[in-house]
Structure 1
């Protein structure tokens, strides 16, 4: 391990071995850059902090494998406070629930097989610009080492200290971070073992609760933005909520997970000289659903490709690296900002207004037409009129 980080020199150093970081290192290595992937945990994939749903991994040339795929998901049920169920299928709801401990490790192994070196139990404690890139100061088993990198890719999650070290503003406002708590449970009675379930209302203020099938188990969790009560308290109440009609009565947890989802939209700048920011660190996560694995993988792929290109061209300036920011923004920025607008509206709605929206929807949907639903819902909840300008 020490030979990987002791006075070593790399073209690209990726910090964080989540899906975004592993995809970035994979494409950097595949395209010829000498690459190191650094992970602070002693085991890649630990701790798990999400509901583990991944839409269409085939888009990245990854074949769904039983070693990490636990369920094939074909859609989801949206459940209003009044109990109305809307079935949504296709699009982003079609995918898989994976075992992240195995899936993340698979992605790192995939990257290593094309040449990436991997350093675990290694924490970046500082960055110092040296004129030709960064000196990356890493702490490993109580000792500090210096690694030279022409490009650093910060994929270190919602807390992202690496981007801040490089002078980019990546700290998230607490009121824009969803606190998430989740049990993996057995003996769960599902509505359908190929459908996700989403519950809205006071069950989970400014967020939602979920039940995701996961093979012989299910992920049961929620995300909230609330100063008065912890996410785990809301979760324990949700498990016994009447809307579930006792379906979790015999369920028992086999694992507890918690974490934060930055749902305040992307950060302002995701590149500077010799630095790229990816995934949760960059706010590349759906403000509406809190889902970020697909976005992280996609943006990580772009980051790795652009980084390798800049290494080949011997130009790692912001003017060259901006290609990454232009690419991901062209593909995702407008969608993320639209979802942010809708999320901000949803967080203000009362249960009566949420019920009016649900009642305005068909029982089965393949596409959600927000404007059409809003026009129909306002008949039952005139108070929704005040949001029309933001919706339309």
Structure 2
């Protein structure tokens, strides 16, 4: 496969997850010579998330039974005492997909518009060369040097590519949620179109979930607490009385684990000749840990900006800053607000969570955070100290 790694490309995208595949798609679609580098031998492996995503229509991606497993209408928030709050509405609608198939679909879609893809390939070095970079790639065990004008770092939470040029991406361990999940068959769902979120000591400073996935369900959790492994918390969750006998006939068909950055976006996502997207950039909801939609949207912006820069023959930080301005305008305030909410939730004990659940209506179309906070404070004035920054 030597033909894949030619000497020079306009854009090299590192990482073939949703962010990287969307970035390469929009770069190639706009006529830019693009290489997509993926360290795994199979795109979409290993899966490290619960596979839920909001509506795909924004990206002009047709809904296909090939990768869509469930249509989601909303979710249940379940307090430690078992109280369920039902949330429905357009913001909660979406899908649970088969990531192994979905990620590969996105990469194939990118290849169809011209992207060259190198699987089982790692970027091991990156250094300036004329008006771009030389990128050292180990491809199928052999070393190659590729010249490029722009690098898009989409290499996940453990990103090393941006670090090579001085963009700080490494995450604080206390800002990384450790996740473990079984895909199980035989789970008794509350509703085949509703996600379930469980809060409390069963998943310290995080939450547990059950997501319907067609004939199966994703049952998992994420924790910040490092006193035990996520898998140990997960196995305890499976035996928790709150689930009663809903898992008595269930059995795992797959196990997944990984880390999710929930500390908010990194300080800088752009420099001369480089942009950072997806998990590498911290473009993940600090509150839910969801990142597929953010990755796809920010990746799309990065690909568009890269193609413009190549056509202008200007790859400077100033030109590429269009990417940072656009993604921040769309997402930054929301991410920082969610970061505040996450930090508050991590301070609440089970009694506090039960109080919050009790003051919330059983069914909601939307969550009015300030209205809920005022109700909570009225019932438990001692909790005011946690919410001052939000209602001030």
TM score, norm. by length of structure 2: 0.99
Alpha-carbon separation, structure 1, partners of 2:265 and 2:229: 25
Alpha-carbon separation, structure 2, partners of 1:282 and 1:2: 31
Match of 1:260 in 2: 259
Alpha-carbon separation, structure 1, partners of 2:162 and 2:182: 31
Give yes or no for the alignment of 1:229 onto 2:243. Answer: no
Match of 1:214 in 2: 213
- Structure 1's consecutive aligned runs of 4 or more residues displaced over 3 angstroms after TM superposition are none
Preserved contact between residue 344 and residue 387 of structure 2 (Cα < 8 Å): no
SS, match of residue 150 in structure 2: strand
Match of 1:347 in 2: 346
Preserved contact between residue 21 and residue 106 of structure 2 (Cα < 8 Å): yes
Alpha-carbon separation, structure 2, partners of 1:338 and 1:86: 22
Instruction: Compute the displacement of 1:388 (Å).
Output: 2.4
Match of 1:46 in 2: 45
Stretches of structure 2 lacking an aligned partner (at least 5 in a row): none
Alpha-carbon separation, structure 1, partners of 2:389 and 2:79: 22
Instruction: Compute the displacement of 1:233 (Å).
Output: 0.3
Match of 1:60 in 2: 59
Q: How many residues align?
A: 391
Instruction: Compute the displacement of 1:379 (Å).
Output: 3.0
SS, match of residue 355 in structure 1: helix
Alpha-carbon separation, structure 2, partners of 1:32 and 1:337: 35
TM score, norm. by length of structure 1: 0.99
Match of 1:372 in 2: 371
| Partner deviation per Cα, 1:36-58 (whole Å, 9 max, x = no partner) | 11100000000000000010011
Give 1:1-392 correspondences, 5 Å limit.
1-5=1-5, 8-392=7-391
| Partner deviation per Cα, 1:175-210 (whole Å, 9 max, x = no partner) | 000000000000000000000000001010010000
Alpha-carbon separation, structure 1, partners of 2:341 and 2:31: 41
RMSD: 0.8
Alpha-carbon separation, structure 1, partners of 2:389 and 2:358: 21
Preserved contact between residue 186 and residue 216 of structure 2 (Cα < 8 Å): yes
| Partner deviation per Cα, 1:246-304 (whole Å, 9 max, x = no partner) | 20111100000001110000000000000000000000000000000000000000000
Stretches of structure 1 lacking an aligned partner (at least 5 in a row): none
| Partner deviation per Cα, 1:326-379 (whole Å, 9 max, x = no partner) | 000001000000000010000000111111111111111111111111111123
Preserved contact between residue 22 and residue 296 of structure 2 (Cα < 8 Å): yes
Instruction: Compute the displacement of 1:166 (Å).
Output: 1.6
Preserved contact between residue 170 and residue 282 of structure 1 (Cα < 8 Å): yes
Alpha-carbon separation, structure 1, partners of 2:142 and 2:239: 48
